[in-house]
Every structure is written in C-alpha cells, then in structure tokens.
Amino acid sequence: MKHAEPRHPERRKHPRLTYEVNQRPILRAYDRKYHVINISKGGITIESRPDSLPLTTSRLEGSIMFLGGEISEITGDIVWIIGDKMGVKFSNPLPGATISREHSRIEKA
C-alpha cells in the first residue's frame, strides 16, 4: 500500500465532488464507518483513523450511504494514505447518474 501524495487534481480522470463536513455520505466497510470527503465516478477520498483502517488488506469493499437515501455498493483498492485520509480507486466506476444526483442534492442544500 502506498503512503504517497494523491495525484494533482488537474491530472484526475474524473472530476470530483467535494462535500461540506455536514453533508458527507458514510462509507460502511468491515463493520466500520468512514466519512466521504470527496467522490468521483472513479474513486473516493475518505477520512480515516489508524484504529479504523482495514489493516489486513489494501482492498476495500462496502456501501456508500448518501444523505439523499441512495446506497451504492463499492469495491476498490486503497491507493494512498496520508494522515487521516485514504484514497480509494473503484474497481468499477460509479454510475454517472449517481454523481449527478449528488451534485444536484448538494447544490440545493
């Protein structure tokens, strides 16, 4: 597992949607909860604490529970950890419609 800087935003393949602290979805994985800092079709950045990391794996499987009620099952690889943040690249992209609904919900909030 890499402990390196995330790629520069301008080099990202998919644009990211960044959440305000009070609007963050929850990722449930391995009986733990992680707050989603930002999301794109290709991956997420989540808050983590050393005691909440899935230390035995670099693979992450779980469910993202969006505040609008939608739930998305995800599988991906942890590609970086910096301080209290983890970057996860999805094995399969999230549907564009999911990101669009989230963008609309955030704009209305």
Mean local confidence (pLDDT), 70-91? 92
Helix (H) / strand (E) containing 50: none
| Domain 9-108, second-level architecture | Beta Barrel (2.40)
Q: Would you say 84 and 49 are in contact if contact means Cβ atoms under 8 Å apart?
A: yes
The separation between CA 37 and the C-alpha centre of its own chain, rounded to angstroms, equals 7
Residue pLDDT, tens place only, 19-71: 999 999 999 998 889 999 999 999 999 997 766 655 556 889 999 999 989 99
What pLDDT was estimated at residue 1? 44
Alpha-carbon distance 19 to 103, whole Å?
Answer: 10
Structure tokens at 65: 């529970």
pTM: 0.81
Q: Is 105 helix (H, G, I), strand (E, B) or coil?
A: helix
Locate the domains of the chain by residue range: 9-108
In this predicted structure, what is the pLDDT of residue 50? 63
Question: What's the gap between Cα 32 and its chain centre?
Answer: 14
